[in-house]
Every structure is written in structure tokens, then in C-alpha cells.
Amino acid sequence: MQLSDYQTYDATGLAQLVATGEVSADELLSAALEAVDAVNQPLNAVVATFEDEARRFIREEMKDGPFKGVPFLLKDLTAHYAGQPTGAGWPPRAFLKPDADSELVRRFKKAGLVTFGKTAVPELAMDWTTRSRAHGVTNNPWDVTRTAGTSSGGTAAAVAAGIVPMGHGNDGGGSIRVPSSVCGCFGLKPTRGRNPVAPSGSTWQGMLVEHALTRSVRDSAALLDATAGAHPGQFFNSPAGGNFRTELGVDPGSLRIAVSTRAPYGAPTHPDCAAAVAETVRLLEDLGHVCEKHDIDLPADGWDAFETFILAEYATDMKLEAQALGRALTEADFPPMLWDMIEAGNRISAVDVNVATTRLHAVAAAVNATFSRYDVFLSPTLAQPPLPHEAFPQATSMRGHYEFYLSWMPFTHIFNVSGAPAMSVPLAWNGEGLPIGVQFAAAPAAEGLLFRLASQLEAARPWAARRPPISVGAK
């Protein structure tokens, strides 16, 4: 298959070609590897490939699933592929190879996906842009001087550039939606517990969820159909049911949509991001929806509680890493800022964590109360357009680190806290030609409603033909 043809298909389209015998899985894999060679150098999105294993999988193990033969990339963070390192952008982990697939990877394989590589992540996912000592900085295909987002930035850049039509991502505070916004992809964060969480089953007490970044809405829906479902090793499981592919093209009716551009906890919203929401409101009203201004009033101590919770989780993660490595971790293992965060987490008591969790329940209650009055909540995905690399501080105080978080990505984490599904949709570009995502959220377990709305928006304002300057299909 020629790259000029390969890049025109989404994953569903490629699977149809394999099913009808028009192209083979081996041919698609060759095209994907050629795409890596063509565009990865300026992006630094794909940090490892394993062609021999992918060819073996095609010969010996490939299932007759909905995505049979489609090339796929894993985010190099949590989803373990047996025999391949899960490096997390962290030098001590570079050679740590899992003995078995995580449950999510088993479901990807059952769906027929051919995983052939890993994508870049921030070091241990503790940075607000995709950079690490292990792999360097990942660039945005719309402008290589700018961030690809955090922490699924490598996947977002690879999908936007056409290396694969969809790739794995996960989201503990916005890490599917943030890179989708800055790279012009579609990114859905499912309901807490909808997909199996890799590898431990209860990462960040259910705030971290697994799914994918895609170019088309139908790929996201069909993949969630293939992977969702209860897992006995998981502490949180969402309600069963939902055939999300059948929601596509269904008229969502006239939805009552709450609209807010006021960032939680006081961060200013850039005019480009506010303009993207205003433009989206006009589109929604043209489609028959009712949009009303509505800001969510959150508990004043909600951010402090989130910060306390996450610092404790970072420290917990590193205690587990030390056990996996079989040695104590020291300051030399980390960049200074990460070490400060881990040490801060170690100083937090169990009582403090439980108090913070109680306050996060109050945040969740405030967020989910919105859906007793409204069907959907609309906001910017981010408070700023895609930022230049130099905007991200290389060294700062821990307080400055979190203040920067709130200035950059304040809109996303509240839906990790609440457990509600949320999606970033690529509906706007600013005057510099950079994508500006808008975020829609709905009540827990209401992914079907979001897919109905997303497919309506995709039909009304298609984005698939918009390709970045660094892409397989660029002229």
C-alpha cells in the first residue's frame, strides 16, 4: 500500500480493506513503518518499534476482530506488551520487560490490532509537556516549535501526522484530551472503570482511565466497544452495556448544553480558546441545541485536595517502582523537580490523603450535579493555545510547577475526579493555524450521548481532511 493511500483511511477503513482482501496486514504494517521513517524524525513521537514481533503476531496470533490487521501504537507508560520494555521516559526503566500483557493489551490484540511500537511520554508522566531524559522533546506536527501536549503527546503527534489512524492513550488529569486538543485529534476519556486499567487495576484510585486518540469518531466508538467491560482484577468497574458504534449518526435531539469559559480555580482563559467555544456554540445552535452560560462552582479547597492526592500517588508509584527494580531509588534517579514532588508525597500522611479524598468527593458532587440540569457541559479543553516549548519551565519550585498546570490545563482534571466521560473535539483553529480543541462532558456512563453529539459535529464540520505541515499526506 502506498503512503498516499494509507493516510486517507481511518482504522475502520483499513480494517475493511483487510477484511475484503484488498490489502494484507503485512502490507499495512510496512506502510506504517514507512510512515515512521517519513515523519518521525522532526516529531520524535515514536520512541521504539518492534517489527519482528509485529510480523510474528500477524502470522501466529492475530485475531479476527473489528480492527484485524490495523497498525497500532502503545503509549509507553502503563500498557504492558510482553517482552517489550515499558520505559515511561525514565532511564532506570529502559530495560524492564514485562513477562505478560496487561489486560488492556490483551483486548487490543483480540480486536485484531497489530501493535508495532511505543510512543513518547513525559518522564514518569510528571511533566506538563512530553519531554524526558530518555527520549528528549516531542514536537507538534502543526508547528515543531510547540508542545504536543501531555502525557499522550507522542500518540497525538503520531496520529495527527498519519503514522497510525489511532493509538493508545490514557488520562489521569487530561492526558488524552490535552494532546488531542493541541494536535487536532479526537480524544475521548471514558467513564471511570469503563476500560481495564493497566497494569494494576486501580491506578490513581480510578482517576486514570485508558482508551485512545483517533482521527475519526467512529474509530473511538468501535474501539471502546472492543475493549470495554468489567475486569475482575480492577477495583472500579463502570456499569456494563453500551454498543457505542450504534450511537453514531443517531440524532441526539435538542440538547441542553451548559457553556463555560471560566477556568476552575482562577486561571485566565486565552481569547483564542474562548473564541473556539463561541464558534462551537454558534454551530450547536444551528444544529438545534440550546446553549446556556453556566459555570461550575467548585469547593474552594478542591485544587489543594487534588494536589495532595496526586503527590501521594506519585510517591506510591515510586515505591512500587523501587520494588520492581529491586533497589532503593535515590535523588540521582530523577530530575530535581520530580524528586521534590516524590519527597513531598512521602511526607503526606495517610490521614491527609483520606481527608483530601473526602474533599475530592465534594468536587465530584459539584461537577456531576451539573448533569441534573444539563445534558452536556462545554468548555475549552485548555486555557491556552498550543504553547512554545520554551514556555514550559525547566526548573521551578513545586508550587510554580502546579501554578503552571492551572494556567495551562485547568479544565480537564475535574472530570477525572468526577469519573464522568469527557472528549476533546477538533472544531477550531486559531489565526496561526493551530488547533484549538473544545471539551464536552456528560454524566457518568453517558459515553453514548457524547458519541451521538460527536458524530453530529463531525458530519457538520469535518476535520479529517485538515492535516498538519508535518504529516504523511503533506504536499
Cα–Cα distance list, 277 to 24, 96, 228, 381, 442 (Å): 42, 44, 30, 9, 17
Amino acid 208: pLDDT: 93
* CATH code for the domain of 250: 3.90.1300.10
Known catalytic residues? 75, 151, 175
Amino acid 475: pLDDT: 66
- CA 425 to chain centroid, in Å, comes to 12
- 470 falls within a domain: no
Amino acid 198: pLDDT: 64
Torsion angle (degrees, nearest 10) of CA 181, 183, 188, 193: -100
- 32 falls within a domain: yes
3 state SS for the chain: CCHHHHCCCCHHHHHHHHHCCCCCHHHHHHHHHHHHHHHHHHHCCEEEECHHHHHHHHHHCCCCCCCCCCEEEEECCCCCCCCCCCCCCCHHHCCCCCCCCCHHHHHHHHCCCEEEEEECCCHHHCCCCCEECCCEECEECCEEEEECCCCCHHHHHHHHCCCCCEEEEEECCCCCHHHHHHHCCEEEECCCCCCCCCCCCCHHHHCCEEEEEECCHHHHHHHHHHHCCCCCCCCCCCCCCCCHHHHCCCCCCCCEEEECCCCHHHCCCCHHHHHHHHHHHHHHHHCCCEEEECCCCCCCCHHHHHHHHHHHHHHHHHHHHHHHHCCCCCHHHCCHHHHHHHHHHHCCCHHHHHHHHHHHHHHHHHHHHHHHCCCEEEEECCCCCCCEHHHCCCCCCHHHHHHHHHHHCCCCHHHHHHCCCEEEEEEEECCCCCEEEEEEECCCCCHHHHHHHHHHHHHHCCCCCCCCCCCCCCC
- 17 falls within a domain: yes
Amino acid 201: pLDDT: 59
Closest alpha carbon to 174 in 392, 403, 424, 450 = 424
Amino acid 202: pLDDT: 66
Question: Which residues face 379 on adjacent strands?
Answer: 439
Amino acid 200: pLDDT: 65
Domain limits at 394?
A: 3-460
- Cα 381 from Cα 376, distance rounded (Å): 14
- 474 falls within a domain: no
- Cα 417 from Cα 412, distance rounded (Å): 9
Total of domains in the chain: 1
- 469 falls within a domain: no
Spans of the chain, pLDDT less than 70: 198-202, 475
- 326 falls within a domain: yes
- 466 falls within a domain: no
Amino acid 366: pLDDT: 98
- 199 falls within a domain: yes
CA dihedral (45, 47, 51, 53) positive or negative: negative
Amino acid 213: pLDDT: 99
Amino acid 236: pLDDT: 83
